[in-house]
Amino acid sequence: MKQKNELGKGLRALLSSINTENPAPVEDVQSTRVNSVNMLPLEQIHPNKLQPRNAFDEERIQELAESIKTYGIIQPLTVRPTGNDQYQIISGERRYRASKLAGLKEVPVYLRQADDNEMLEMALVENIQREDLNPIEVAISYQRLSDECGYTQEELADRVGKKRSTVSNYVRLLKLPVEVQNALKNKTLTMGHARVIAGIDDLVLQLQLFKDIQKKEMSVRDTEKALQLYTRSRARRPVNVQSVQADRQMDLLEKKISMFFGYKASIQRKETGEGQIIIRFKNDQQLNDILDRLEES
Q: Which residues are catalytic?
A: 93
The C-alpha atoms of residue 136 and residue 182 are separated, in whole angstroms, by: 9
Distance between CA 159 and CA 136 in Å, rounded?
Answer: 19
In DSSP notation, 177-233 reads: -HHHHHHHHTTSS-HHHHHHHHT---HHHHHHHHHHHHHHT--HHHHHHHHHHHHHH
Residue type for 114, please?
A: A
CA distance 89 to 81: 9
Q: Give every CB contact of residue 254 below 8 A, 6+ residues apart in sequence.
A: 265, 266, 267
> Rounded distance, CA 202 to CA 198, Å?
10
